[in-house]
Amino acid sequence: MTQSTNSSAAVADGNKGNNSLYRAVWRWHFYAGLFVLPFLIMMSITGAAYIYRDEIDDWYHSDLKFVEDTSGTPVSMEQQIEAAQKVVPGSPAKVTPPASADRSTEIVMTTEQGTREAVYVDPYNAKVLGHMPDRTTLMWTVRHIHSLVEFGTIPNYVIEIAAGWVVLLVLTGMYLWWPRNAQKGGVVSLRDTPKRRIWWRDAHAVTGLFIGVFILFMAATGMFWSPLWGKYANKFANGTPNGYPSGVRVDVPLSTVPMIDAFGDTSWTNENIPLPQSVDGNTTAENAVKPKPIGIDAAIADFNAMGIKPGYTVAMPRGETGVYSASVYPNDLDQQRVIHLDQYSGRPLIDMGYHDYGFFGRLMELAINIHMGQEFGVANQLGLLAVCALIIFMSISAGVMWWKRRPSGALGVPPMPRDTRKLAVVTAILAIGGIIYPTVGASMIVVWLLDRYLVVLPQRKLRESRA
């Protein structure tokens, strides 16, 4: 590239930088990047790994998840639970029958100390293969790190804030990228060489152009798991007082136990839906003998007869009014299903699938399935893997670009716009997003105060002292 071309690029960037609105947007883009880039890198790495969660867990925990000899006849689930209780004393909370002939049974025990332990049992001889705390497989740990759940409740709120700032980062980045003054270089092509800052700027902007929509999608769908906004979005999606989608007829008493408490992991739509209660064990006549529960083996036989997809998990009844609940959330949304059986008669109380959800519930489940790399098979996985890799590159290029631009010994905050009213206009527009996402709005106020009292006012005093 010739020197004249380099000069033209510098002049074009300089003209944009002198625009007050451009400076105002650039300033907010800088602060958004300063806050979220570390999170973007972390979430991209853990997210890329979680795309292949089943493959990785099956490989890493193969000694627990698979059995070698499949020539025999499986023993009853009752026998398998008894074997698990001998190794881990307690009561069964949920069981996952093998999805295929070469897999083990997973039995989660509630221990005498109140913790949950996942016990893996050979279904052909009831031999315990091993056990570990529930939801502590390698990929569960990666998932907890991805959402910051691993570090407690407060850090989990940080992810909600970070997702909102990612939206801000992309939208302001698109404005900064937008070509001006017949600009050609840096729109969809790279100028100069990696030795120069302009190359890193173009690489950052052009990459963002092609994956910006995907980043917005991932940030927006990630919000569904957030502790504050996600909770209210869930209520809106279901839209009924008892939590069940409007298409599901519920004519049985409901408990106060949400499905996520019973299973530990459910589909997003079903997380806060309460379990129904068994009613067929009630006796009204004096001296009537209360019927006995049908037992886990009969419940599993009923679930299989109803055609639920193998790989489902059964939550055991809690107390005399509890139910047998089976749930499965495979890659194919059409096969998502939840069935609740009365523990005394085996009568189906509620049988709910993906197509029973409301419009917003179906839309959000589809978005979540894509977010997790499930909906379109290998294409979905490879696409997300590419997006994660490009996000990491964008984050690195932003760091290099900042390092090459910043003054020695300074943070390098973009200059204030000459017309400060432009900054107020941009801030007011961003406040709309802050109202939609309250935790993000609160963090914006904090950043604005820090910028004003730690950057703007000290710089103003310094200029006045030099005048």
- The band of 247, judged by pLDDT with boundaries at 50, 70 and 90, is low
Arithmetic mean of pLDDT, 136-165 = 84
Helices (H) and strands (E) in the chain, counts: 16, 10
pLDDT at residue 302, rounded to an integer = 97
Close Cβ partners of 378 (under 8 Å, ≥ 6 residues apart): none
pLDDT at residue 11, rounded to an integer = 41
**What does pTM read for this prediction?**
0.84
- The band of 341, judged by pLDDT with boundaries at 50, 70 and 90, is very high
Answer whether residue 17 shows pLDDT above 60: no
pLDDT at residue 141, rounded to an integer = 93
Identity at 169, one-letter amino acid code: L
Q: Residue written as tokens 């009204």?
A: 284
User: Is beta strand 105-111 parallel, antiparallel or unpaired with respect to 90-96?
Assistant: antiparallel
Q: Residue written as tokens 């790989």?
A: 311
Query: DSSP labels for 137-152?
Result: SHHHHHHHHHHTGGG-
| Most confident range, picked from 19-23, 150-154, 259-263 | 259-263
12-21, 69-78, 237-246, 287-296 — which is least confidently predicted? 12-21
Answer whether residue 4 shows pLDDT above 90: no
| Pair of tokens at residue 182 | 């017949």
pLDDT at residue 215, rounded to an integer = 93
- The band of 294, judged by pLDDT with boundaries at 50, 70 and 90, is very high
57-66, 127-136, 388-397, 438-447 — which is least confidently predicted? 438-447
21-35, 42-56, 329-343 — which is least confidently predicted? 21-35
Answer whether residue 326 shows pLDDT above 90: yes
Residues 169-194: pLDDT tens digits?
998 888 888 887 766 767 888 888 88
Q: What are the Cα distances from residue 360, in Å, to 232, 242, 245?
A: 13, 17, 10
| Most confident range, picked from 190-199, 218-227, 366-375 | 366-375
pLDDT at residue 268, rounded to an integer = 80
- The band of 159, judged by pLDDT with boundaries at 50, 70 and 90, is confident
Q: Residue written as tokens 């299989």?
A: 304
**Cα–Cα distance for residue pair 148/424, rounded to 1 Å:** 33
**Cα–Cα distance for residue pair 136/133, rounded to 1 Å:** 6
User: Is beta strand 313-315 parallel, antiparallel or unpaired with respect to 337-342?
Assistant: unpaired
Answer whether residue 119 shows pLDDT above 90: yes
Arithmetic mean of pLDDT, 288-308 = 92
Q: Which domains does the chain have, with CATH numbers?
A: 3-50+147-225+380-466 (no CATH), 66-133 (3.10.450.40), 248-356 (no CATH)
| Residue 41 and residue 390 in contact, taking contact as beta carbons nearer than 8 Å | no
pLDDT at residue 266, rounded to an integer = 82
| Residue 172 and residue 29 in contact, taking contact as beta carbons nearer than 8 Å | yes
Answer whether residue 165 shows pLDDT above 50: yes
| Average pLDDT score over the chain | 86
44-48, 157-161, 287-291, 355-359 — which is least confidently predicted? 287-291
- The band of 10, judged by pLDDT with boundaries at 50, 70 and 90, is very low
**Cα–Cα distance for residue pair 294/50, rounded to 1 Å:** 38
Answer whether residue 241 shows pLDDT above 60: no
End-to-end CA distance of the chain, in Å? Answer: 42
Close Cβ partners of 134 (under 8 Å, ≥ 6 residues apart): 108, 116, 117, 118, 264
Q: Residue written as tokens 């690195």?
A: 396
Arithmetic mean of pLDDT, 124-149 = 93
Phi, psi (deg, nearest 5) at residue 353: -125, 180
| CA angle 146–149–153, rounded 5-degree value | 140
| CA angle 155–161–167, rounded 5-degree value | 145
Element (H, E) at 234: helix 229-238
Residues 86-118: pLDDT tens digits?
999 999 999 999 999 999 999 999 998 999 999
Arithmetic mean of pLDDT, 387-401 = 93
Query: DSSP labels for 235-263?
Result: HHHH-STTSS-TTS---S-EEEEEHHHHH
pLDDT at residue 422, rounded to an integer = 72
pLDDT at residue 88, rounded to an integer = 96
| Residue 56 and residue 139 in contact, taking contact as beta carbons nearer than 8 Å | yes
Phi, psi (deg, nearest 5) at residue 352: -130, 135
155-169, 178-192, 369-383 — which is least confidently predicted? 178-192
Angle, in degrees to the nearest 10, between helices 20-50 and 138-147: 170
Helix, strand, or coil (residue 207): helix
**Cα–Cα distance for residue pair 289/273, rounded to 1 Å:** 32
With CA atoms as reference, report the closest residue to 93 among 314, 374, 348, 359: 314
- Between residues 361 and 384, the one the model is more confident about: 384
- The band of 140, judged by pLDDT with boundaries at 50, 70 and 90, is very high
Phi, psi (deg, nearest 5) at residue 203: -60, -40
Q: Where are the alpha helices (DSSP H) in 74-136?
A: 77-87
| Pair of tokens at residue 240 | 């009924």
pLDDT at residue 288, rounded to an integer = 64
Query: DSSP labels for 40-109?
Result: HHHHHHHHHHHTTHHHHHHHHTHHHHB-S---S-PPPHHHHHHHHHHHS-EEEEEEE--SSTTB-EEEEE
Arithmetic mean of pLDDT, 119-142 = 96
With CA atoms as reference, report the closest residue to 115 among 135, 95, 129, 130: 135
Answer whether residue 410 shows pLDDT above 80: no
Close Cβ partners of 160 (under 8 Å, ≥ 6 residues apart): 223, 226, 227, 228, 229, 230, 437, 439, 440
Answer whether residue 2 shows pLDDT above 50: no
Close Cβ partners of 389 (under 8 Å, ≥ 6 residues apart): 44, 48
